[in-house]
Chain A
Amino acid sequence: MFSHIYKYRLKCILRDRQIIFWTMAFPLILATLFHMTIANITSSETFSEVKIAFSEEGGSQEYRLLKETLEQMSAGEGRNGGKKLLDVTYTSRGEADSLLKDGKIKGYICYDGEIKLVVKDRGLEQTVLKGILDDFRQSISSVTAILEENPAAANGSLFDDIAKRADYLIESAAGKAAPNTSVHYFYTLIAMMCFYGGFHGLKEVMSVQANQSSAGARVNMAPTRKMKVFLVSILAAVTVQLIETALLLLYLAFVLRVDFGNRIAYVLITCVAGSFTGVSFGACIAATMKTGEGPKIAVVISVSMIMSFFSGMMYHGIKTIVRSKAPVLSYLNPLNLIADSFYSLYYYQTYTRYFTNLALLCGFFALFSMFTYLAVRRRKYASL
C-alpha cells in the first residue's frame, strides 16, 4: 500500500508542470539571474591589477628608481601571496598616450622635468596609482633627508628599511571560508525555494481532503486510513522537494560556483529541515484556510515573498536592519532562519547561532505539522 500510494503521488507531483516550474525551474532561473546581476555588482568591488604604461623617454636617477620599483610591483605574485598590483607596459610617451585614449590603460607615468602621472578618468585604479607615486615620492624624500643628515647611513640597511612595509591589520574570516557578501542572496534563494515546497504540501492536502477536491472525497471513501494516505503523500512531496533543493545546491555549487564554506553536512541538514518546514507550511495553509485553491496559492506565494524580502533576498541590508531594530522578527521568519543558518555556517566558527536557527526552524515545522494534523485528522465534514 505504501509503495502504491508513494509511487502515484510522486507521479502526480512530478507531472504537475506548473508546480515543478515554480518549485524548481523558477529558483534555477532566479539563481542564474542573481549570478549575472551580482557578478556585475561585485566586479566593481573586486580589485584587479591596474594596467598602466611607463614612458621610457627621458628621466632621472629618481625616475629610473621608480621604474625598478614598478618592475618589482608588476612581477609575479604580490605581497603575502596576493595578486600583483600593476600590469605595466613599457613604451614611448606617444604610444602610452594612445593606449590611454583607447582605454587600454588606466594611466601612464612619464618624465617631463619631474615624474608625472597622466590619467583620463577618476576612479579606484587612478587613486591607487596616485597612492603608489605618493608613496614613492615620500620614500625618496625620506632617503634624501636622512642622507643629507647622515651620509654614512647609505652603507647600512637604510634602503631596505624604507622599502619595508608592515601590515598592522590583517583581514581574516571568522568562518573557514573567505568573506563574500554576495552569497547571502543565494542563501535566501535556497530558503525561498524551500518555502516554495509549500506548493507540494498544499497539493497533497487537497488531494486527501474531501471538502477540497473530488479525488479527496474518493480517497476518504476508500477502506484505507486517510492519515496513512496523507502521510505517504506528504513523504512523496518532501522527496520531490529534497531532490529539487539538491539540484539547486548542485547548480549553485558547481555551475555558479557559489561558496558554501566547508561545513557541507550542516548545509545539507539545513536544506532537509528547510524542505520539511516549507512543505509543512503549504500543508498547513491548505488544511486550515477555508477558501479555494487560488487564495491558498496566493498566500503561499505572498508569505514566501514577504519572508524572502525580510531575509534580504531583494536587498541584503534589510536583514541587518531587521536584526538590529527588531531582532524578534528575524527569529519569527522561518525563511530567514534557513538563510541565516547558511550565513552563520559561512561566517562563524561556532555553531551557537546555527543551532539556534535550526531549533527554531524545527519548532516551526512542528507547529505547522500540528495545525495540519488537527485539520486533516477530521474524518467527517460540516459541508462539502
Chain B
Amino acid sequence: MRILPDMDILSHRQMRLKKQITNVILLMDSGHLQWNNPEGIMGARKTGGDMTFPAGEMGIAMVIQVKNLVKRYGDLTALDHLNLEIHEGEIFGLLGPNGSGKTTAINCILSLLKFDKGDIMIFGKPMSPDAYDIKRRIGIVMQNVAVFDELTVYENIDYFCGLYITDKNTRKSLVEEAIEFVGLGDFRKFYPKKLSGGLLRRLNIACGIAHKPDLIILDEPTVAVDPQSRNSILEGILRLNSEGATVVYTSHYMEEVEQICSRIAILDRGKIIAQGTKDELKDMIRSGVTIEVELIGAPPSIERDVRDLPHILSAELNGNMLVVKSEKGKSNLVMLLDYLKSRNIPLGRVYSEPPTLNDVFLEITGKELRD
C-alpha cells in the first residue's frame, strides 16, 4: 500500500488539468463550455459526441451544481440552503460529523429524496428520477452495502452492471475489470455473507463502478472497515480518479478526506461552513501548529506562563506533556523552545503537528469533528 503524499495529489490534479486543457477546444458561449473532442475529455470514457456543460472556475466543466438546497424533516432542517459546485476531474470531499446531512445531500442530488427547495444540475442538466442519460453516467457506492445476499460476487456485479449495460460481451469484460480493480478475483463465486467486512465493501464499490461511470459518488465507503482494506479502498478511489472519473467522497474521517480529496466542503447541521482545498481551509483559521513538548520537572505555573507568551493560543499540561496551540505563520516552535530553555526546564520529546481539518471544524463550530 502506498499512501500518496500531498504533493502527489496536487501534481496529479495539475496533470489532469493540463491534459484536459490540451484536449479540449473551448468555445465559451453564454457561460457554457463546449468540447468537441469526439472521445470527450476523458478519452475512451465518453461515448457521445458534443456535450454541453456549464463552465466552472478556470473553464473546467461543472459536474454537479447545487443551489439553495433545502430539505426538511418536519421541524428539523436537514439541509439548509446548501450550495455546491463540483468540477470535472476532481475528488470532492464532503466532510462532516454524523448527522450533518452528508447522506441526505447525496440522496437529494441523486433524486432519491424529495427536497423542499433548490436546484440540482448534473452534467449541466436538471437531475430528476427520469434523467436516465444522467443516471447512466453516475456510479453510486452506498453507505450501506447494497448487494443481494443470494447472488455471488460475480453475479451481483453483473446484475447491477446489467441495469446499465445491455450488451452481454461488453458487460462481461466490464465485470471482470471491476473484479480485478477491487481485487476480488479469488472470491468470484463467494456469497456476500462469506466475505469479510472489507471485502464486502470492495464488492459494494465494484457494483457501483463496473459500468465505468464518469461521476462516482461514494458515501462513507470505509465505515467499519479494517485499516488495510481502507487503504486499499482509498488507493482505488485515486485510481478511478486518475482514469478520468470525477469523485464525490463523503466521510466523517478527516484523515481520509485530507488524504485523497482535492477540494473539500465541511458540512455541519445541513450547512456548508467552509469550502476549498485543504490548504485554503486551514488558511481560514488562526490556529497554526500544535506543539507537544515533554517537560521534565516543570513547575505547574508553566502552563499559565506559556499561555502568556505572544502568538500562543492555548497551553495545557497533561502530565509531563505540554500541549501548545500557536497562531500560524510564526516561528512559534523555536520561540517556545527558547523560552523553556531560558527557564532551565529539561526537555524530553518534542512534536510539532500542522493544523488539521478537525482544527478548522473546531475553530468554526466550537466543537470537535468527531462529536
Instruction: List A residues at the B interface (Cβ < 8 Å).
Output: 1, 4-5, 8, 11-13, 15-16, 207, 210, 213-215, 217-224, 226, 229, 379-384
Q: Is B166 a contact of A221 with CB atoms below 8 Å?
A: no
* Bound-complex Cα distance A349 to B366 (A): 84
The interface residues of chain A lying within 8 Å CB-to-CB of B138 are 221
Q: Which of B73, B129, B145, B150 is A220 in contact with, Cβ under 8 Å?
A: B129
11 more A-B residue pairs beyond the given contacts A222-B160, A379-B129, with a C-beta to C-beta distance below 8 A: A8-B151, A8-B162, A214-B146, A215-B146, A217-B142, A218-B208, A221-B112, A222-B164, A223-B135, A224-B132, A380-B113
Restricting to B125-184, which residues have a CB under 8 Å from any CB of A? 129-130, 132-133, 135-136, 138, 140, 142, 144-148, 150-151, 155, 158-160, 162-164, 166
Given that A8-B151, A8-B155, A214-B146 are contacting pairs, would A221 and B140 also be in contact in the complex, using a CB cutoff of 8 Å?
yes
* Bound-complex Cα distance A382 to B140 (A): 20
The interface residues of chain B lying within 8 Å CB-to-CB of A11 are 150-151, 155
**Does B110 lie at the interface of the complex (its beta carbon under 8 Å from any beta carbon of A)?**
yes
**Does B111 lie at the interface of the complex (its beta carbon under 8 Å from any beta carbon of A)?**
yes
Q: Is A12 a contact of B107 with CB atoms below 8 Å?
A: no
The smallest beta-carbon distance between A216 and chain B, in angstroms, is 8
The interface residues of chain A lying within 8 Å CB-to-CB of B162 are 1, 4-5, 8
Does more than half of chain B's interface fall in helix, strand or loop, or is it mixed?
Answer: loop
Q: Is B136 a contact of A223 with CB atoms below 8 Å?
A: yes
* Bound-complex Cα distance A378 to B355 (A): 46
Q: Is B113 a contact of A383 with CB atoms below 8 Å?
A: yes
A-B pairs, 4 with minimum CB distance: A214-B146, A222-B163, A379-B129, A223-B132
* Bound-complex Cα distance A312 to B162 (A): 47
A-B contact pairs, 24 of them (CB 8 A): A4-B159, A5-B159, A5-B162, A15-B150, A16-B150, A213-B146, A214-B145, A214-B146, A217-B140, A217-B142, A218-B140, A218-B146, A218-B160, A222-B135, A223-B135, A223-B164, A224-B163, A226-B129, A379-B111, A379-B129, A380-B113, A380-B129, A381-B114, A382-B113
Restricting to B103-126, which residues have a CB under 8 Å from any CB of A? 107, 110-114
Q: Is B166 a contact of A207 with CB atoms below 8 Å?
A: no
* Bound-complex Cα distance A8 to B163 (A): 11
Q: Is A384 a contact of B113 with CB atoms below 8 Å?
A: yes
Q: Is A382 a contact of B114 with CB atoms below 8 Å?
A: yes
**Does B207 lie at the interface of the complex (its beta carbon under 8 Å from any beta carbon of A)?**
yes
Given that A223-B163, A229-B163, A384-B112 are contacting pairs, would A12 and B151 also be in contact in the complex, using a CB cutoff of 8 Å?
yes
The smallest beta-carbon distance between B347 and chain A, in angstroms, is 53
The interface residues of chain A lying within 8 Å CB-to-CB of B140 are 217-218, 221
The interface residues of chain A lying within 8 Å CB-to-CB of B207 are 218
Count residues of B near A (Cβ-Cβ below 8 Å): 33
Q: Is A381 a contact of B113 with CB atoms below 8 Å?
A: yes
Q: Is A380 a contact of B160 with CB atoms below 8 Å?
A: no
* Bound-complex Cα distance A366 to B162 (A): 31
The interface residues of chain B lying within 8 Å CB-to-CB of A219 are 163
Q: Is B163 a contact of A215 with CB atoms below 8 Å?
A: no
The smallest beta-carbon distance between B192 and chain A, in angstroms, is 11
The interface residues of chain A lying within 8 Å CB-to-CB of B112 are 210, 217, 220-221, 380-381, 384
| Centre residue among A5, A213, A219, A221 by max chain B CB count within 10 A | A221
* Bound-complex Cα distance A218 to B162 (A): 12
* Bound-complex Cα distance A380 to B133 (A): 18
Q: Is B130 a contact of A379 with CB atoms below 8 Å?
A: yes
Restricting to B215-260, which residues have a CB under 8 Å from any CB of A? none
* Bound-complex Cα distance A11 to B148 (A): 10
Q: Is B73 a contact of A383 with CB atoms below 8 Å?
A: yes
The interface residues of chain B lying within 8 Å CB-to-CB of A229 are 163
* Bound-complex Cα distance A213 to B142 (A): 11
The interface residues of chain B lying within 8 Å CB-to-CB of A381 are 112-114
Residue of chain A at shortest CB distance from B142: A214
Residue of chain B at shortest CB distance from A213: B146
| Centre residue among B136, B147, B163 by max chain A CB count within 10 A | B163
Given that A12-B151, A214-B142 are contacting pairs, would A221 and B113 also be in contact in the complex, using a CB cutoff of 8 Å?
no
The smallest beta-carbon distance between A16 and chain B, in angstroms, is 6
Q: Which of B73, B111, B135, B163 is A380 in contact with, Cβ under 8 Å?
A: B111
The smallest beta-carbon distance between B109 and chain A, in angstroms, is 11
Given that A221-B110, A223-B135 are contacting pairs, would A215 and B147 also be in contact in the complex, using a CB cutoff of 8 Å?
yes
Q: Which of B135, B147, B148 is A221 in contact with, Cβ under 8 Å?
A: B135
Residue of chain A at shortest CB distance from B108: A380
